[in-house]
Amino acid sequence: MKTHTQPHTNGSSLLHHPPKHIVKKANVKDYEKTYARSIEDREGFWADEAKKLKWYKKWQQVLDDSEKPFYKWFTGGKINIVGNAIDRHLETHRRNKLAMIWEGEPGDVKTLSYHALNREVSKFANVLKSMGVKKGEIVTIYMPQIPELPIAMLACAKIGAMHSVVYGGFSVEALAGRISDANSRVLVTADGGWRRGKITDLKTIANEAMDRSPTIEVCISVKRTGQEVHMENDRDFWYHDLMQLPIAAPRCDTEVMDSEDPLFILFTSGTTGKPKGLVHTHGGYSVYTSSTHRNVFDIKDEDRWWCAADPGWITGHSYLVYGPLINGATIMMYEGAPNHPYPNRWWNMIEKYGITILYTSPTAIRGLMRFGEQWPRRHDLSSLRLLGSVGEPINPEAWRWYHEVIGRGECPIMDTWWQTETGGMMIAPLPVTPLKPGSATKPLFGIEVAVVDDNANEVQPGEEGKLVIKAPWPGMARTIFGDPDRYVDTYWKQYEEKGWYKAGDSARIDEDGYIWIIGRIDDVIKVSGYRLGTAEVESALVSHSDVSEAAAIALPHEIKGNAIHTYVILKAGVHGSKKLEEELKKHVSSEMGPIAKPENVHFLESLPKTRSGKIMRRVLKARAMGLDEGDLSTLED
Ligand code: PRX
């Protein structure tokens, strides 16, 4: 299992047709027809999707493109995502349906009906209000995967505050930077979480981050592990203490929001500089996540939906929390490592809870595949109906294992391509679509894509080019928080005349119109499906007192998809050693988080640079892989 590249054929011989019972029950039976309609009358299509939601006031205009590329959707409409994710279910049979099944790593279980979820969210919303949280303010959330994480997100949304969730695997510098950029006054965290039988030290990291970014006035901690943590008198509160006070009343009105009011920011890595906070809204995001979730995963009232992503990333926002709750599904959430205490943990939970749809990443599949099929074979996985993949290209070996061993050869795999910026899935099959392993297949309704060269010419079928999206969609990020110019430059500048969105990925479209995503064309690295920027890893390295310059690149890795390899120039008088290499790896891990820990650190005398001083990462990569270094004419030395 060395290669992650897809076959260069159009893969027709590999077509996997959906089983009859799937086609018979599918919510959408005719992709081509619905797609054609959605493109001919895009606004009409989205208006129909929007009508499936609860609006306090109907929109006046579906799409307002008067300030391109700052598109607005459903303007004049009044809505709140919580009105759809919770409130409206309370008036139906879903009131007593399970909204959430949660299992902690040590084996503790919690379940919440929609009624109970509403109660917890309302109580915490009132707590936030009592802490002075106002509409439009950004609350930072830094938590393990426990029920209080979605509860905190929903509580913010309910009162019109925005959330900025920082992935619980990030460390001090990453958290501090995101708190400062959001200018957050309130932080919600936990004393720790369970991961592989050990406690993750969230509160200690949070304390250090608060020291570095002093905007936080109130820190609320959930007691998850019970370990000793440092709390400061006038700043720190325990979640369970606050939730017992009269301020935590179980009723709270859901704030009526404008369709375009921001719902959250989510930081993600870009090509250069600091991570950027993408802004998503109440109206368009509600419509887009629920519509794509319903169509791609053919969601039914009796489904038990498990999106195994961490809520700290966009997949968790859109398809663990918001999309599925809007669709009234029962969501599954698990706190810990997939192989703890044994590699059958996931398969055991699928059997135990009767999970019908599993949505995860190729990395997770490859990681579990390596333990062998005897682990899943011990369990009855017959409740599974559909499988999903997201975050990186899925290699054919992992696809086949997922399909045959986990899905009994009967569960179609929805390989979904999208990004933090897109808010929801963009290219993905429906359950009725014939599949080619490794291809995300076709664009979803209302989405038009092309693969083009630098001059906006579409490339030939089978040829590699840049992936663009030709028209706006409701789930799109509206801007980069605090930096609208960067939003324009990053995504819209290159194909400005055409008005196309540049995804930052390279891709190929075969003769059957199937899309094959190849990977990032910029300096974004996907490690285990997690998105990191070379710039962040480099800046963590140079923050070490022995390092003068650094470069980071991604090289293929059997399980993680990509791994980070780094090159550093040390300060004068410092000599490279195995000990220093280990120290630098640890330094990156403690500044950024374990996912950013480099595979190795190479000590160099100089780095390949252009005459203007830009590090040529492609040269480092070609050398490391023993490939042709390409055009070196711009190389300085
Ligand atoms: O390179 C693509 C890859 O993940 C990038 C987006 O990362 P992020 O914003 O973290 O969102 C990940 C979850 C939606 C894309 O630019 N990517 C995502 N899904 C796929 C993928 N690459 C290939 N196939 C996919 N299904």
pLDDT tens, position by position, 578-590: 999 999 999 999 9
Using one digit for the tens of pLDDT, what is the confidence trace for 360-396? 999 999 999 999 999 999 999 999 999 999 999 999 9
Query: What's the pLDDT at 271?
Result: 75
Tell me the sheet residues that pair with 568. 550, 603
Query: Cα(213) to centroid of ligand 1, in Å?
Result: 30
Query: Cα(178) to centroid of ligand 1, in Å?
Result: 21
Q: Is 449 or 610 the better-scoring residue by pLDDT?
A: 449
Q: Is 45 or 630 the better-scoring residue by pLDDT?
A: 45
Backbone phi, psi, residue 342, to 5°: -130, 165
Give the residue, by CA position, lying nearest to ligand 1 atom 26. 417
Predicted TM-score of the model (pTM): 0.95
Give the residue, by CA position, lying nearest to ligand 1 atom 22. 392
Average pLDDT over residues 551-570: 96
Percent of the chain with pLDDT over 70: 98
Q: Is the dihedral of CA 200, 202, 203, 205 positive or negative?
A: positive
CA 74 to CA 472: how far, in whole Å?
13
Query: What's the pLDDT at 11?
Result: 52
Query: Cα(418) to centroid of ligand 1, in Å?
Result: 5
Among 170, 315, 418, residue to substitute to test ligand 1 (most atoms within 8 Å of Cβ): 418
Among 419, 436, 441, residue to substitute to test ligand 1 (most atoms within 8 Å of Cβ): 419
Query: Cα(230) to centroid of ligand 1, in Å?
Result: 38
Using one digit for the tens of pLDDT, what is the confidence trace for 40-95? 999 999 999 999 999 999 999 999 999 999 999 999 999 999 999 999 999 999 99
Query: What's the pLDDT at 13?
Result: 56
Among 531, 532, 562, 595, residue to substitute to test ligand 1 (most atoms within 8 Å of Cβ): 531
CA distances to 281, 433, 504 from 513, rounded to whole Å, are 32, 12, 20
Average pLDDT over residues 598-609: 95
**CB-based pocket (< 6 A), ligand 1:** 268, 313-315, 390-393, 415-420, 440, 503-505, 517, 519-520, 526, 531
Residue 1 has pLDDT above 50, yes or no: no
Residue 552 has pLDDT above 70, yes or no: yes
Cβ-based neighbours of 309, under 8 Å, separated by 6 or more: 315, 316, 319, 320, 359, 360, 361, 390, 391
Task: Name the least confident of 3-7, 59-63, 190-194, 258-262.
Answer: 3-7
CA distances to 88, 104, 111, 121, 124 from 91, rounded to whole Å, are 6, 30, 20, 17, 21
Using one digit for the tens of pLDDT, what is the confidence trace for 485-535? 999 999 999 999 999 999 999 999 999 999 999 999 988 999 999 999 999
CA 389 to ligand 1: nearest atom: 26
